[in-house]
Structure 1
């Protein structure tokens, strides 16, 4: 009896001891982390800002509350257009921004958001996730000590708000316009005076007349920012942002410290949040546009002559930039080569379908 009792206690003790040894190893695999994420976007832009919060929620829930990310809007920790610098220097572990905000550092960063007459949202997702996009963008961001992931896409954006009608290329001359990245360079060849401003500064500048025109995203966000109150002409399409991607930045040193499980959760969470942002914009933009039109907004397509002039100016800017930046030239060839491969398929399937349904709906209303 005593012998059996001793053996039973010994075996229980051995199991307990082995669990005690294993527990610290498990804890090391799932550490408790509290990170900060600096955003370029304000809380009022619930789609752009909200995607970062959604991502953080997915990470928190996916790690059973062990990996917590606190989101800070633009200007709270760092200015909206300095998020890349903050992550590079490890002022914050993470950031949520747009690559083309840092066009002045390296124009190659613009491919991570959008470039004129580039990829639409589905083509961009395919380039990043299934083709060479992620590899090429990781090469660029590596210069800034950053690991990047897609974190949302607005879809094709609008061409912006204008105080006066744009009937010809001459109407662009002298126009003071808020825009970013390559769009500014292209438009400047046509006489536009581009200015880059964060979201919170745009409306006051437009209201005071410091700006004659602004482009931001699309009907839902533009309505929130109040542009229709001071500029009634709303143009489309935003040829400089066929599928504008926003991105997640992670300090490379901090990324390399993460367990593989946490890295996988970040990748999965960023993909889920990316798809969700596009779905939200698709859901919200159509109703917001109807509201704007009912309030007197004048919807206009850019004249074909203006679009053609912008296309031609874009090619010149690409040639000039490629001559000065070998990496840009290499990425441009890959990116546009991929666009050229995909566009014929999209014209056969998506474009023809959309055009027919649109025409059929118009015919049914008559």
Structure 2
């Protein structure tokens, strides 16, 4: 036998029998953390409240259960509309909320959710993740000792439930309506009376006649809240929310103290929950709308006169807010450029495709 072949086989055998060397560097185990997250959404709503549960579950899986986040419903720790304040104060580490509910602090918070006659779901996502929206908004959130990311999106919403028909802009005068964000400001400019109510409070308010109308979200949630039982007219579209993001808000000191791997887990989990939420609504809204119509709901489009009046007031409001709030002006400059660019592109591709299919399917 060839001597060199014998030597080679002997060397291979010795290598196979040798124990594996220990790694040169042993990484320190990531810390075990337990956070509390307060949600602004009723626990009965499995899509919008459920997004926070999906987020928390994903964070735990990505960190092998070392980073656990417990989700609380509204009122279990703080009321629904005090979620951001609780995070800022350090009462809880995080919350899942609608940023536009806090426009009383600064109107620029509306951009984290959606503004009247604004972006659709895909456009909002593009501006947030590739148009600099997340970074710009965190310039605002830092003023409140917070860090924020999108955590959920609803898609286009419905225009709400009304006790009486809306035939013209005149019918908005004196209308007491539960409506959040800058949509409420536009309604007020047209003579309406916007009301800020948490999700769990809107059914009894509408039932008692404390309010005349209410917008919440869309067929799937609206049916679960029973709004069709206390108001017969269901209008569309929600001109104030062509898309609506819900937000994860984290206490800034807590965010900065996290290991980079945990920050990455939060970013990934929030994006996962965002895609999950809109998919859940898009697959469940069609059947819910059919059930609502079948039970007697009167589905109505807003008259064009109403939409045009609201659009004019929205345009004027944008200019006024840009003149009053430096934060609003800075974010609006980026947002409006993205809006105009994407609308030009969508008219060429998305809108032409959707319009053809809408007409063809009728035939």
- Structure 2-normalised TM-score? 0.92
What is the CA deviation profile of residues 102-160 of structure 1, one whole-angstrom value per residue up to 9, with x for unaligned ones?
A: 01000011100011011111101100100120111010000011111110100111111
Give, in angstroms, the shift of residue 323 of structure 1.
2.0
Partner of 1:180: 180
Give, in angstroms, the shift of residue 186 of structure 1.
0.3
Give, in angstroms, the shift of residue 330 of structure 1.
2.1
* Alpha-carbon distance between aligned partners in 2 of 1:59 and 1:327, rounded to the nearest angstrom: 31
Runs of 4+ in 1 over 6 A off after TM superposition: none
Give ranges in structure 2 of 5+ residues lacking alignment.
1-18
Give, in angstroms, the shift of residue 255 of structure 1.
1.1
Give, in angstroms, the shift of residue 358 of structure 1.
1.7
**Secondary structure at 1:48 match in 2:** coil
**Secondary structure at 1:105 match in 2:** coil
* Alpha-carbon distance between aligned partners in 2 of 1:165 and 1:333, rounded to the nearest angstrom: 37
- Alignment pair present for 1:311 and 2:311: yes
Give ranges in structure 1 of 5+ residues lacking alignment.
1-11
Superposition map of 1:1-366 within 5 A:
25-27=27-29, 30-363=30-363
**Secondary structure at 1:359 match in 2:** helix
What is the CA deviation profile of residues 63-114 of structure 1, one whole-angstrom value per residue up to 9, with x for unaligned ones?
A: 1111111000111101101111111111111111111010100001110001
Are the counterparts in 1 of residues 131 and 334 from structure 2 also a CA contact under 8 Å?
no
**Secondary structure at 1:26 match in 2:** coil
* Alpha-carbon distance between aligned partners in 2 of 1:63 and 1:165, rounded to the nearest angstrom: 52
* Alpha-carbon distance between aligned partners in 2 of 1:159 and 1:227, rounded to the nearest angstrom: 13
* Alpha-carbon distance between aligned partners in 2 of 1:197 and 1:113, rounded to the nearest angstrom: 17
Give, in angstroms, the shift of residue 59 of structure 1.
0.5
Partner of 2:3: none
What is the CA deviation profile of residues 213-255 of structure 1, one whole-angstrom value per residue up to 9, with x for unaligned ones?
A: 0001000001111111111111111010111000111111111
* Alpha-carbon distance between aligned partners in 1 of 2:139 and 2:265, rounded to the nearest angstrom: 22
* Alpha-carbon distance between aligned partners in 2 of 1:345 and 1:156, rounded to the nearest angstrom: 19
Count of residue pairs the alignment pairs up: 345
Are the counterparts in 1 of residues 52 and 96 from structure 2 also a CA contact under 8 Å?
yes
* Alpha-carbon distance between aligned partners in 1 of 2:316 and 2:51, rounded to the nearest angstrom: 35
Give, in angstroms, the shift of residue 333 of structure 1.
2.2
* Alpha-carbon distance between aligned partners in 1 of 2:313 and 2:237, rounded to the nearest angstrom: 17
Give, in angstroms, the shift of residue 290 of structure 1.
0.5
* Alpha-carbon distance between aligned partners in 1 of 2:65 and 2:141, rounded to the nearest angstrom: 29
* Alpha-carbon distance between aligned partners in 2 of 1:118 and 1:359, rounded to the nearest angstrom: 25
